[in-house]
A = this chain, B = another copy of it.
Amino acid sequence: MNANKIGYLGPRGTFTEAALEGLLEGQSDSVETIAYPTVVAVLDAVRSGEVGRGVVPIENSLEGPVTTTLDALARHDDPLVIIGEYALPVRFALLVRPGTELAAIEKLATMPIAAAQCRQWLDQNIPNVQIIAASSTASAAKKLGENPDCDYEAAISPEVAAKHYGLDVLASGIGDDSDASTRFVLVSRPVKPPTRTGADKTTLMLFMREDHSGALLEILTELAVRGVNLTRIESRPTRKQLGDYYFSIDAEGHVDDARVAQALTGLRRVCSEVRYLGSYPRHDGKESSVAHGASDTDFEAADAWIAAIRERGSGRS
């Protein structure tokens, strides 16, 4: 039984591993964590049942969406759902084998997104360094620490990876923006959504019917009229042709909220396809604002009223 196995973007020492620990905090069940080399490999392991859940990065406060993750969740025929999220401050360190000096670094390895976030420090300190693309920040550190044939002299990585792989921290806090953070999501095969908390978020992929101008306004109106706020929207390519998009969105609230459920049914009626990607507690615990008339109680009262009208021509009790 693999329900207690959790895959993550490894190897040990990645920000993703730290996020995984944050996501599990307070849970009493023992879990086994398994590192995978790529985001796609993590999601495939969840799909196949090799692991029960997976943790992958989905958004960075500087660079925006991790499109690999967005697209891998959206496009596969076998959908997954998000059941939790976690935001982690991102601090980068420059790791080297013990004894290496800055002047000796000709090549360094890291994820491209991490290199981009350390651009200023690199330009000022080792402007001519060659960047080698690694599939994760920790994998760059791991190879440097464990593989004698490694052909680069440094890795940009979370500081914690130094300890795992026997490396020295030559510089820390080298990111351009000290407030940077990354959001990670916990995914599983489709399951009953986690209990709503009042501070939830729902993620959707929306595909438009063809030749339908004003479609986006229509979508937003379906949400607004039920008092559901949008927190993020992205045109993502459908991969058919340039300029053909679907929308990736996050909305406030949980599918168990009446207002969200009714907004979703509205979207389903006007879109060609709505893919539900999960309702889950927000990382920041910020409660959804509920507009006048948009609480569950309001929806129930209105439903009872209409039922009475249909039965006896009057909604009075």
Give me the interface of A with B, judged by CB distance under 8 Å.
59-64, 67-68, 79, 81, 87, 112, 115-116, 130-133, 151, 177, 179, 181, 183, 189-193, 209, 213-214, 216-217, 220-222, 224-226, 229-237, 239-243, 245, 247, 255-256, 261-262, 264-266, 268-270, 274, 276, 278, 284, 289, 292-294, 298-299, 301-303, 305-306, 309-315
Contact = CB atoms under 8 A, between A and B. Distances in A.
A213 B242 contact: no
A214 B225 CA distance: 10
B312 A190 contact: yes
A61 B256 CA distance: 36
A243 B313 CA distance: 25
Of A190, A222, A247, most B-chain CB atoms within 10 Å: A190
Which 3 pairs, one residue from A and one from B, show the smallest C-beta to C-beta distance? A269-B293, A133-B133, A265-B302
Contact of A217 (B79, B214, B221): B221
A297 to B, nearest CB: 10
A209 B292 contact: yes
Contacts of A225: 221-222, 225, 266
B313 A81 contact: yes
A239 B313 contact: no
Given A237-B63, A239-B177, A241-B61, A230 B216 contact: yes
A233 to B, nearest CB: 5
Contacts of A81: 313-314
A310 B241 contact: no
A303 B265 contact: yes
Most B CB contacts (10 A, CB to CB) among A209, A229, A294, A315 go to A315
Given A191-B313, A237-B60, A237-B64, A305 B255 contact: no
